[in-house]
Structure 1
Amino acid sequence: MTGYILSRVIRAALTLLITVSLVFIFIRFSGDPAAALAPPDAPQEVIDQYARAMGLDQPLWQQYTSYIAGLFRGEFGYSIHTGRPVEALFFDRLPYTLHLGLTALSIALILGISLGAVAAINRGRMLDRFVMGFSVFAFAMPNFLFGLCLILIGALVFQVFLAGAGAYVLFPALTLGLAAMGSFARFARSSLLETINAPFMRAAEARGVPFMRRLILHAAPNAAIPLVTLVGLSLGSLIAGSVVTEQVFAWPGWGSFLSARLRRGTLPPCSFWFWPWPSRW
């Protein structure tokens, strides 16, 4: 067991090292970061000053070793716009993103599994077709379009603005978790149908066990096994989708912060937004 865990840790560390190395190489060869940060009419002396401040005048291998050493020490550099440490900016916005993501995951799990169970119990009926149609709609609907529709309906029909400062988390969370909700509904239905038709369920029915007891105590725990894997796979899509959702609803999370930088054109196209430069800058 120890060897298995150690091999997994080593493999994860190598994957992370290769990833950050590729990012470092691609960023360095995509252009001159100092020239991108400096004003368009800046003289060469100013560009050289930027390069010296960020350590870009050093050899490439020395920049790489300094970058990797900083990552291992937990030093992720300073913002090229505010001068604040990256971790401070990150943790300022992280609670909002976690609040949104966990709420979206909870909504997707509760509603998705419930709808999937209802569809499985009513297999072949109109309710089953309606739930499966809704799951396809939820999976195919772009979250930004659904969010804009919610905002327009709230503003035009109910005279309530669902975005901006002080907005309630329910509506952006519902938008973010819509696709995951459709996936959970489909997987819950198929997994529950497979479990209901299993031999041990027929044996329990033959012994006279009530239907709801069979469903809750026997079918549900076995049907939940594939859903655990799906939850882990859905976390990545929720994190990626939060960038768009937070921008649509002006939610003050990390995704909204990144989108604002990109929209204002303050994120240099050829350099890191956060650079591992010294604090004296």
Structure 2
Amino acid sequence: MTRMILFRVGRSILTLLIVVTIVFMFIRLSGDPAEALAPPDAPPEVVEAYRVKMGLDQPLPVQYMSYLGNLAHGDFGYSIHTGRSAAAIFLDRLPATLALGGTALLIALVCGVAIGTAAALKRNSVIDRLVMGFSVFAFAMPNFFFGLIVILVGAFGFGIFFGAAAGNSMSLLTLLPPAATLGLAHMGAFARFTRSSLLETLNQPFMRALKARGVPATRRLLRHAVPNAAIPVVTMLGLSLGGIVAGAVVTEQVFAWPGVGQLLVRSVATRDIAVVQFLVLMVALSMTIANLLVDILYTVLDPRIRRASA
């Protein structure tokens, strides 16, 4: 198991290095950031001064090695607009994104697993058809469109603005609408995965043997069916973390939520190189850590994987 974890950690480090390299190249090949920052009528010497200040006058390999060296020393660069470190700006926005993403994931996981379990236990019933219909609707509904519907219904139907722009404050009223919007698609996916996995487990011979031995239905479900059906759901959990991080960018824009996603959009628009690179690095880091934890959780849930990695 230790060897497997070390292998996964090494692969995660390599993934982060590839992500950093791709972002570094794309930002610099998409146009001259110095020209984007300088005023439209700025003379060439002013543009060149911007270029020298940001180190863009150096050859690309020199810029890349310098950036990697700064990362190794914990220097992630500074915003060219505010002069603050990219890490400090990120930490200011992180609590809002953690609150939004954590609530969205909790809603998607709890509600999706609950209705998926109900659909599996009531197979081919009205409940099953309703759950499957809802899961298809939730998966097909774009985040930005559903978010706009929520805002319009709240504003015109109830006289409530579901957006953090009203006072830029975080409360339960401003948190639940964007969190529900962000978690909607993943709720449908959790429901479908839970239903299919649980149905497959319930039809296994060992479940019929437990029933024949007189084991109570609740114990069969909680003690034997749920652990065996959990691995596909855990896989979906790892994928959902990445989807929620990506979806937060759009959701935060729609609801004016003051989080990392909104900061990333503004930083890309203003060519704030240090902030963009650091935010993408943090997003990649969170996704690789999530996948690493999912791999470790596999070994806890399935003894066969644990024996194979020994």
TM-score w.r.t. length of structure 2 = 0.81
Q: Is the 8 A contact 1:138 1:178 kept in 2?
A: yes
Aligned-partner Cα distance in 2 for 1:4–1:214 = 32
In the alignment, which residue of structure 2 is the partner of 1:51? 51
**Residue type of the partner of 1:126?**
V
In the alignment, which residue of structure 1 is the partner of 2:232? 226
1:82-135 C-alpha deviation (Å, 9 max, x unpaired): 111000000000011011111111100110000001101110111110100000
2:195 counterpart of 1:189 = yes
1:201 to 207, 210, 218: 207
Quickly say closer, same or farther: Cα 1:221–1:12, change in 2 above 3 A: closer
Q: CA deviation at 1:275?
A: 8.0
Aligned-partner Cα distance in 2 for 1:191–1:77 = 46
2:275 counterpart of 1:274 = yes
**Residue type of the partner of 2:224?**
H
In the alignment, which residue of structure 1 is the partner of 2:110? 110
In the alignment, which residue of structure 1 is the partner of 2:241? 235
Q: CA deviation at 1:28?
A: 2.7
Q: Is the 8 A contact 1:54 1:275 kept in 2?
A: no
Q: Is the 8 A contact 2:77 2:274 kept in 1?
A: no
Q: CA deviation at 1:273?
A: 5.7
Q: Is the 8 A contact 1:242 1:255 kept in 2?
A: yes
Q: CA deviation at 1:136?
A: 0.3
Farther-moved stretch of structure 1 (130-139 vs 193-202): 193-202
Q: CA deviation at 1:31?
A: 2.5
Aligned-partner Cα distance in 1 for 2:95–2:103 = 12
Q: Is the 8 A contact 2:264 2:276 kept in 1?
A: no
Aligned-partner Cα distance in 1 for 2:29–2:156 = 49
Aligned-partner Cα distance in 2 for 1:242–1:133 = 25
Quickly say closer, same or farther: Cα 1:257–1:19, change in 2 above 3 A: closer
2:76 counterpart of 1:76 = yes
Matches within 5 A, 1:166-177: 166=169, 167-177=173-183
Matches within 5 A, 1:97-176: 97-164=97-164, 165-166=168-169, 167-176=173-182
Q: CA deviation at 1:254?
A: 1.1
Q: Is the 8 A contact 1:80 1:275 kept in 2?
A: no
Q: Is the 8 A contact 1:147 1:249 kept in 2?
A: yes
Aligned length: 271
Q: Is the 8 A contact 2:182 2:244 kept in 1?
A: yes
TM-score w.r.t. length of structure 1 = 0.89
1:166-215 C-alpha deviation (Å, 9 max, x unpaired): 34311111100001100000000011111111111111111122222222
**Residue type of the partner of 1:204?**
L
Aligned-partner Cα distance in 2 for 1:3–1:120 = 38
Farther-moved stretch of structure 1 (110-119 vs 19-28): 19-28
Aligned-partner Cα distance in 2 for 1:143–1:181 = 13
SS of residue paired to 1:124: coil
Quickly say closer, same or farther: Cα 1:168–1:77, change in 2 above 3 A: same
Q: Is the 8 A contact 1:112 1:182 kept in 2?
A: yes
Q: CA deviation at 1:41?
A: 0.9
- Which structure has more helix as a fraction of its residues? 2
SS of residue paired to 1:159: coil
Q: CA deviation at 1:2?
A: 4.8
Higher-Rg member (1/2)? 1
1:45-74 C-alpha deviation (Å, 9 max, x unpaired): 111211121112223332221111011122
Gaps of 5+ in 1: 277-281
Question: What percent identity do the matched residue pairs reach?
Answer: 62
**Residue type of the partner of 2:225?**
A
Aligned-partner Cα distance in 2 for 1:36–1:273 = 15
Q: Is the 8 A contact 2:267 2:276 kept in 1?
A: no
**Residue type of the partner of 1:131?**
V
Q: CA deviation at 1:260?
A: 4.5
Q: Is the 8 A contact 1:77 1:86 kept in 2?
A: yes
Q: Is the 8 A contact 1:79 1:275 kept in 2?
A: no
Farther-moved stretch of structure 1 (46-55 vs 17-26): 17-26
Aligned-partner Cα distance in 1 for 2:237–2:221 = 22
Aligned-partner Cα distance in 1 for 2:2–2:213 = 44
